[in-house]
Amino acid sequence: MRAGSAGEFRRSFGDGLVKYLARRVIRAIFLLIGVSALCFLFTEMAPGSFFDEMRANPQISPETIAGLRAQYGLDQPLAVRYGRWVKSALRADLGYSIAYNTPVAPLLWSRAKNTLLLALTAMILTWIVSVPVGLWAASWRGGWLDRGITVLSSLLIAVPEIVIAIALLASAVRWRLAPVGGMVSTSIESMSEWARLKDLAAHLELPVLILALCESAIIVRHVRASGLEVLNASYVRAARGLGITRVRLLFRHVLPAAANPAISLFGFSLGGLVSGSLLVEVICGWPGLGPLVLDATLSRDLYVVMGGIMFSALFMAGGNLVADILLMLCDPRIRTGGEHAN
């Protein structure tokens, strides 16, 4: 059960690779269609609309609100609105935001860049730390590292992310450890290039830490559990008997075999790059997609929500695709959609 190499992978897959990728692309298209249709439907189900805040204001008349609704096409039936949205989406025009009065796509992209920066940094940190720690804990089972990891990960899983975030922010405020939120200092204009980079890095510290802590807890647990399973296998015991070093054992032999659940999680990590950091972004004031889409969702700014959801759906499909390919790389005998094992 050795990990295969890329060359082997391609050889054994053959032409099937192109067909496989084509199938995944078709699946992604169906996903987008399904998500967009259901999203429109759900929006209709939810009570209220964008101009409700004005409705509660005694100084604005219902006629004005009706006029605004007509202006933005909110009084049209659902099917008509969906049709128009699909037509313009195919032309890469994702509509206008009611709140900002600007086109949706540039609005989303200006924030998505920030989210990707944060999420990628956190993801790299998470995976670089979690996998070795998980494997180490498995190999030192019952030792102080293992116990400590169990307790720490339990703490991080049990306490809701929001409480962890506020606790860390509170410590940052107390001891002036790091900037408390935001992405850049207000005086960014007057800084040199190098100073700007440092400023950005300083602001990244806290949100990355929060994200990394919460996600590592889960990954470490899974890696440790599957690592334990593999460590008990006979060939591993044989290798130990032959005097292999711990590092070599863990990374060359245990990891590929134990990687299965971790790969699925990796796919989720990748797929959740734009959507997973929503809470942290809101709490830390990081100007990413999270606060924008959350605000738009709560205020029913439909096209921003649609755009955001399409974007994260694409990422998710992509992340799962990568995970599936990695699964096949790791265990060459898996051939999803191909021959069965009979």
Partner 1 sequence: MKAIALLSLLVCLHVSVNAAGAPTVTAPAPENPGKNEELDHVAGVTGHYGGSLTIGQRAEPKTLNPVTESDSASREIIGRLNADLIEINRSTQKTEPALAKSWKTSSDGRTFTLQLRKGIHFSDGHPFDADDVVFSFTLYMDEAIDSPQRDLLMIDGKPMTVTKIDQYTVRFTLPQPYAAAERLFDGFPILPKHLLEKQYKEGKFAQTWTLNTPASQIAGLGPFRLKQYVPGQQIVLERNPYYWKADSANHRLPYLDVIVFVSVGSEDAQVMRFEAGETDVISRLNSENYNLLVKEEPRAGSQLADLGPSLEYNFLVFNLNDLSGKKLDAVARKQAWFRDLKFRQAVNAAVDREGIVHLVYGSRGTPLWGNVGPGNKYWVNQSLPHPKRSLETARQLLKSAGFSWNRSAQLIDKTGQTVDFTIVTSSSNAQRMKMATLLQDDLSHLGMQVHVVPLEFRAVIDRVFQSFDYDAAIMGLGGGDADPNPEMNVWMSNGTSHLWNLGEKQPATAWEREIDQLMQQQMVTLDYKKRKQMYDRVQLLIADNLPFIFLATPNILAGADARVGNFKPALLDPYTLWNADELYVRSSGMENAGVR
Partner 2 sequence: MRISGKLGMGTRLKAAALAASLLVLHLAILCAGFISPYDPAIQNRDFPYAPPTRLHFNDAAGFHLRPFVYAWTPAGESYQEDLAVAYPVRFFVRGDPYSFLGLFETNLHLFGVDDPQKIFVLGTDAFGRDVFSRVLWGGQISVAAGVVATAVTLLVGTLIGVIAGYFGGWADEALMGTSELFLALPWLYFLLGVRAFLPLHVSPARTFLLLTCVIGLISWARPARIVRGVVLSARTRNYVAAARGFGGSHLYILRRHILPEAFGVLLTQAALLIPRSIAAEAALSFFGLGVSEPAPSWGNMLGELRQYSVLISYGWLLAPAAALFVTSVMYSLLADALHSRLESR
Q: Which residues in the 131-190 window bind partner 1 by CB under 8 A?
A: 166, 169-170, 172-173, 176-190
**Pick from 262, 164, 146: nearest CA to 206:** 164
SS3 96: strand
Return the residue matching tokens 């898996």. Answer: 334
Counting contacts by CB under 8 A, is residue 295 touching partner 1? yes
Minimum gap (Å) between residue 167 Cβ and partner 1: 12
**Binds partner 1 (CB under 8 A): choice among 21, 38, 52, 336:** 52
Minimum gap (Å) between residue 110 Cβ and partner 2: 21
Q: Sort 296 into a burial class: Cβ within 10 Å, 0-12 / 13-18 / 19+.
A: buried
Q: What is the DSSP string of 117-175?
A: HHHHHHHHHHHHHHHHHHHHHHHTTTSHHHHHHHHHHHHHHHS-HHHHHHHHHHHHHHH
Minimum gap (Å) between residue 202 Cβ and partner 1: 5
List Cα–Cα distances, 145 to 133, 136, 152, 203, in angstroms.
Answer: 9, 8, 10, 30
**Binds partner 2 (CB under 8 A): choice among 16, 62, 67, 338:** 338
Minimum gap (Å) between residue 243 Cβ and partner 1: 22
**By the 8 A CB rule, do 223 and 262 touch?**
yes
Complex with partner 1: residue 268 or 311, whichever CB lies closer: 311
Counting contacts by CB under 8 A, is residue 148 touching partner 2? no
Task: Print the SS3 string covering 196-233.
Answer: HHHHHHHHHHHHHHHHHHHHHHHHHHHHHHHHHHHHCC
Minimum gap (Å) between residue 159 Cβ and partner 2: 5
**Binds partner 2 (CB under 8 A): choice among 18, 21, 22, 38:** 38
Number of residues that bind partner 1 (CB under 8 A): 67
**Binds partner 2 (CB under 8 A): choice among 16, 34, 67, 83:** 34
* Binding-site partner at residue 265 among partner 1, partner 2, none, CB < 5 to 8 Å by type: partner 2
**Binds partner 1 (CB under 8 A): choice among 36, 49, 139, 320:** 49
CA 331/CA 319 separation, integer angstroms: 18
Counting contacts by CB under 8 A, is residue 261 touching partner 2? yes
**How many residues does this entry show for the chain?**
342
For residue 290, the Cα-to-chain-centroid distance in whole angstroms is 11
- The torsion angles phi and psi of 103, rounded to 5 degrees, stand at -60, 150
Counting contacts by CB under 8 A, is residue 265 touching partner 2? yes
What residues are paired with 103 via a beta bridge?
96
* Binding-site partner at residue 264 among partner 1, partner 2, none, CB < 5 to 8 Å by type: partner 2
**Binds partner 2 (CB under 8 A): choice among 151, 177, 188, 197:** 151
Candidates 109-117, 119-127, 193-201, 218-226; binding stretch for partner 2 (CB under 8 A) = 218-226
Catalog residues that contact partner 1 under the rule CB under 8 A: 46-49, 52-62, 64, 67-68, 71, 99-102, 106-107, 110-111, 114, 166, 169-170, 172-173, 176-191, 195, 198, 201-202, 205, 281-285, 287-288, 291-292, 295, 298-300
